[in-house]
Structure 1
Amino acid sequence: MTTPPPQQPAEPAHADRVFRSTMGMAGGALLIALGAFIGGDALVSGEGRTPWLALAALLLLVPLVVAFTFRPAVFANDDRLRIRNPFRTIVLPWSQVADVRAGYSSEVFTQDGKKYQLWAIPVSLRQRKKVARQAARSAAEDPHGQTSATAAVDDKARFAPADQTVADLREQAERCAGLPGAQGEIAVRWAYELLAPSLAGLVLTIVLLATG
């Protein structure tokens, strides 16, 4: 009698879904590569105070590029929504979430009236208009359509990428708000690991310019 192969462990019930902007990360990689090329050349070949100015600029700008391109992310599981914005990380148990919306930006509203932006889920008005035009065209071409083209546009516009993601998060908030693990308080942490070197670079730049 052969022994059955061991079963693969099931995926954790609280595994995170991660949302990030691939375009933002690609832009960040390009900016860092460009800064490393220019700044590295100034550090190695520069004369006088040029290497120090290059070092100060890198200290100031690289953390900012990382903050606005690589760092933003949204993590969602059945217990909470974790928002990693450029300089803050906000942990929101679902019981604290009142709504998730996408207007000109993606935002989450808490039960006590606070609002936090979702930097990792940028809204593209161009994509929204594109989907709306496609929906209007489909409605106009449907000879048996039972709804107006305007209604079809309004309905389909929600399914631009950012709008769909926000709709999914809103549905998850409504579904998970009453779960035992989704209770708790809001926690906010500042990204000092990025703020400190950037501030040091700013101070060094001011000192170098002031004493030049």
Structure 2
Amino acid sequence: MRQTWAMTTPDHQSPASQSPVPTAKDRIYRSPMALAGGVLLLLVVGWLGFDALFQGHGRAPWLALAGMILIVPLVTAFTLRPAVFANEDRLRIRNPFRVVGLPWGEIVSLRSGYSNEVVAKSGRKYQLWAVPVSLRARKKAEARKSRAAADAARGGAAPSRGLGGLGVFGGAGDSAAADGATRADTDQVMDELREMLELRGEAESAQGEVTVRWAYEVIAPAAAGAVLLAILLATG
């Protein structure tokens, strides 16, 4: 998983303000494979769509336009849009059609199985689309772990190939790096989020309500494209 850092800008406040809003750092998790696949799909859709739009005859340009209005938002929603933002106060999950904000105090656990998900105190579960589970990566990590154990048994030094420095509040030295080499990338991400939950779950600033916002900027154009496409097909 690739992660980037973003600094949020606090709202402007006068010097007389008694409770200034602190600048919070968001750690952002996104899937590099999804980003690459999304860009590739959009290029293919754009190439085929614009070719039909400007070179097609009869109803072809209208069908191409309706198809692009439907497909482009959906491709963007499932590939480029998903992301997980984590700071000291809350976890924000941007999934294809929803944005969920969860203060750490409202999170019960972070589960990893065939998918990674957050369980809120209300019992609701929210899947982390941006942190997909890779069984293949887990198998490779287990293989590295077995090799490291064999090297240790023979008295050799296991190579340190982990994602050192990815700890939420700083790296933990060579032992953490060595442990990272035996964990899949997405599992390491979940470990970091669990560490933040453990450290910040009881903090006063990490309390609040769960918020859910539907992504109408994705739903509306996709629905318009679907309706237009259905009308064109029905009247054809």
Tell me if TM exceeds 0.5.
Answer: yes
Among residues 37, 43, 48, which one is paired with 2:53 in the alignment? 43
Structure 1 residue 141: deviation in Å? 3.5
Partner SS for 2:25: coil
Q: For 1:83 and 1:27, how far apart are their aligned partners in 2? A: 20
Q: For 1:158 and 1:68, how far apart are their aligned partners in 2? A: 29
Matches within 5 A, 1:41-190: 41-143=51-153, 159-190=183-214
1:135–1:156 Cα contact (<8 Å) kept: no
Q: Which whole-Å deviations, capped at 9, do the CAs of 1:108-136 have from their partners, x for residues lacking one? A: 11112110000001111101001101111
Q: For 1:141 and 1:73, how far apart are their aligned partners in 2? A: 37
Q: Which whole-Å deviations, capped at 9, do the CAs of 1:93-116 have from their partners, x for residues lacking one? A: 000011112211111111121100
Q: For 2:102 and 2:72, how far apart are their aligned partners in 1? A: 29
Matched letter for residue 24 of structure 1: A
Q: Which whole-Å deviations, capped at 9, do the CAs of 1:141-200 have from their partners, x for residues lacking one? A: 33368xxxxxxxxx8797210111001101101111111211110000000011001001
Q: For 1:28 and 1:132, how far apart are their aligned partners in 2? A: 29
Matched letter for residue 88 of structure 2: D
Structure 1 residue aligned with 2:24? 14
- The change in CA–CA distance for 1:166 and 1:120 in structure 2 (over 3 A counts) is same
Residue ranges of structure 1 left out of the alignment (5+ in a row): 1-11, 146-154
Matched letter for residue 199 of structure 2: R
1:129–1:157 Cα contact (<8 Å) kept: no
- The change in CA–CA distance for 1:158 and 1:122 in structure 2 (over 3 A counts) is farther
Q: TM-score, normalised by structure 2?
A: 0.78
Among residues 221, 224, 227, which one is paired with 1:200 in the alignment? 224
2:180–2:188 Cα contact (<8 Å) kept: no
The structure showing larger relative contact order (alpha-carbon pairs under 8 Å, at least 6 residues apart) is: 1
Residue ranges of structure 2 left out of the alignment (5+ in a row): 1-21, 156-178
- The change in CA–CA distance for 1:108 and 1:157 in structure 2 (over 3 A counts) is farther
Q: Quote the sequence identity (%).
A: 56
Q: For 1:199 and 1:208, how far apart are their aligned partners in 2? A: 14
- Give me the CA root mean square deviation: 1.6
Deviation beyond 3 Å, 4+ runs, structure 1: 155-158
Q: For 1:14 and 1:193, how far apart are their aligned partners in 2? A: 26
Q: TM-score, normalised by structure 1?
A: 0.86
Q: For 1:140 and 1:13, how far apart are their aligned partners in 2? A: 46
1:106–1:122 Cα contact (<8 Å) kept: yes
2:52–2:64 Cα contact (<8 Å) kept: yes
1:108–1:116 Cα contact (<8 Å) kept: yes
Aligned residues: 192
Structure number with greater Rg is: 1
Matched letter for residue 117 of structure 2: E
1:73–1:84 Cα contact (<8 Å) kept: yes
Partner SS for 2:101: strand
